[in-house]
Amino acid sequence: MSGVNKVILVGHLGKDPEIRYLEGNVSVASFPLATSETYNKDGKRVEQTEWHNIVMWRGLADVAVKYLTKGKLVYIEGRLRTRTYEDKEGIRRYATEVVAETFTLLGRKSDFEPSGATNAGNAANPQAQKAEDKEIEVDFTENDQEDNPLPF
């Protein structure tokens, strides 16, 4: 029986994704993701934040750079990968990262509109504003078949 390597995270981007291109014009995007949990310690609420290095490849990387920005809330599924490398001093180092296979933007519809367009026309209509603030999800999945573009 083979093992299972599955990671599910919901968190906020620590900065905009950075994209680079490897040999053969293969795109790779990376960014830090913060996940937080709260608990009570001695009657006080304590928040603990973990930082995760996220890596996205090919079409998923291109979509991430287009839609993800610092502070956005995102759901990510992927797998853990640990790489080894030597630093400038020749010391062996390890880096553990989440290789994303899919992501879903989380939040209100207004979170995905260009700045300045948020609810400007609905200030007099609270019902319309309430409808715009419903949470939506936009799902993006890695498509390894380069002949089939993403469906949007």
User: Per-residue pLDDT averaged across 38-45, rounded?
Assistant: 94
Residue % of the chain over a pLDDT of 90: 68
* pTM exceeds 0.85 for this model: no
pLDDT in tens, 24-33: 999 999 999 9
Neighbours of 130 (CB within 10 A): 10
Give the chain's mean pLDDT: 82
> 111 burial class (0-12, 13-18, 19+ CB within 10 angstroms)?
middle
pLDDT tier at 21, thresholds 50, 70, 90: very high
Q: What is the pLDDT, as a whole number, of residue 79?
A: 98
In the predicted model, is pLDDT for residue 117 greater than 70? no
Q: What is the pLDDT, as a whole number, of residue 125?
A: 43
Collapsed DSSP state (helix, strand, coil) of residue 12: strand
Residue-wise DSSP of 66-116: HH--TT-EEEEEEEEEEEEEE-TTS-EEEEEEEEEEEEEEEEEGGGGSPTT
